[in-house]
Amino acid sequence: MNNTLRIFMTGLFALGLFSCKKTLDVVPTNQVNANESIKTPADAQIMINGIVRSMSSADYYGRNFILYGDAKGGDMTIPSQGRGNDALYTFNHSATSGSYSGYWSQIYFSLLQVNNLLVNIGQLEAAGATGYNSYKGQALTLRAIMYFDLVRLYGKSYDLDKNAYGVPNVTTPLKSTAQPLRNTVNENYNQILSDLKTAAPLLGKAKSNGFVNYYGNLAMQARVYLYMKDYPNALKAAEEIITSNVYTLYSNAAWVDSWKAQYGSESIFEIGVYPLEGDLGAGSIGAYLRKKGDGGSTILGWFIASDYFLARLKEDVADVRWGVMNDDEFSTSGNPRKGALYKYSGSIALAGDGKATATAVNLKLIRLSEVYLIAAEAALPTDALKAATYLNAIRKRAPNVVPATAATVTLDMILDERSKELFGEGQRFFDMIRLNKTITFNDEILGLSVATRPKTIDRTFFKTLLPISQAEINANPGILAQQNPQY
């Protein structure tokens, strides 16, 4: 483990860090001290608050993890070099420079909190305590999400080589001297599924704003099974969510405004971000995707939509999803270029989502629209009509596009719809890699000549996996022999 992680892995009780109301919507008022263990379900709730809060870090869902999935997937490009996080787009990674080790350290820090909570709950339950099922279920589900994210960053696609190195499966607090080595991709996926299946019956089915419930767990199961190409189980999980009617798709008229509202009808798992809790300001994902200068001189227009994405969206000028796109810096009076994304600003008027600042916008990690698209992809091999039906539920957001039929629906059609619907939500790169598609980068916007990757890549390109950082190798020398190939 890297030095930061190992310091925390000494058996210290992981803190909730920020204790708040259920939706994390007030100034922090309490915290569990480092040498204490939980004594009541209320303490466990504090811990869950802190775990969810840690996931909104800039190194995780607060910015960089989402950027990773879009900047590397061909749907985004950079308008200028040197503004920040260019290496994600140029794949300028090595063990000593641009390793993006923050993913590793931040996610393992969050895992530390999860593991300590689970250990403490286990001790309480062994002594006869009750009332912890929901917290245990949430912690296990969050652990599965974190490991799913880690193995996608550092491990090969499941269908490509599930026996390749993934990441260390750490499920208990470790001593400071521990130096865990990498498990295989298959072992990581087995752990992920074990956590999800153990957690599901412990979770309630009612909506739980800001926290994961039974359906959030099922949505993660659907995602994981899709990546494993276990289509029957992916479809089963997705359809249970859809037929529950707990969540409903937005109408076309409501879709744009849904981004300036918290916990809407499609939001299955949404992380609360508040001005005093996790608001990254000019460093937030919302600020990174806006037009340069919109909201202040520190807004630099770091990433914009590629020509390839815009061509996809231009299939229908009436597509409601244009409503969260705004002019970028390449727009002219006669040729507007709608390359700036405003999902995480609430609206192109910077409405936010009802809080004091337009950068403190909640992070919608799992939406019902994605579940429909999972169902479409999972149904395609055996039931083309069902696949077309689920696809059309999202495809109708472009009202002039001809609906798919059993005879016309294809995987590429579903993948294009995922691109249009989930743009800016960190999915595109992982979709292209898991489906063994070729990614082409829009370097022409700036006239870039990128020395650290070709213009077109597929999953045989070694930099589609991140390197283990040199700092991690220094702290854990045994992992050097498990470095990702060609680093």
Residues 441 and 458: their CA atoms lie apart, in Å, by 11
Helices (H), 266-383: 285-289, 307-313, 368-379
Q: Where are the domains of the chain?
A: 1-76+89-203+458-487, 281-345
Which pLDDT tens digit goes with each residue over 317-363?
999 999 999 999 999 988 899 999 999 999 999 999 999 999 999 99
CA–CA separation, 127 and 140 (whole Å): 21
Note the pLDDT tens digit of each residue in 422-449: 999 999 999 999 999 999 999 998 888 8
Residue 6 is predicted with a pLDDT of 38
Strand partners, 270: 364
Residue 27: its pLDDT value, please? Answer: 28
**CATH class of residue range 1-76+89-203+458-487:** mainly alpha
Residue 22, pLDDT score: 33
Q: Which of 431, 434, 404, 402 is closest to 419 using CA atoms?
A: 431
Using DSSP, state whether 205 is helix, strand or coil: coil
**How do residues 223-267 score in pLDDT, each as one tens digit?**
999 999 999 999 999 999 999 999 999 999 999 999 999 999 999
pLDDT at residue 20 greater than cutoff 70: no
1: confidence class by pLDDT, cuts 50, 70, 90: very low
Which of 212-221, 275-284, 370-379 is predicted with the least confidence, judged by mean pLDDT? 275-284
Q: What is the model's pLDDT at position 36?
A: 54
Contact 293, 299 (CB under 8 A): yes
Reference 204, options 124, 141, 146, 262; nearest CA is 141
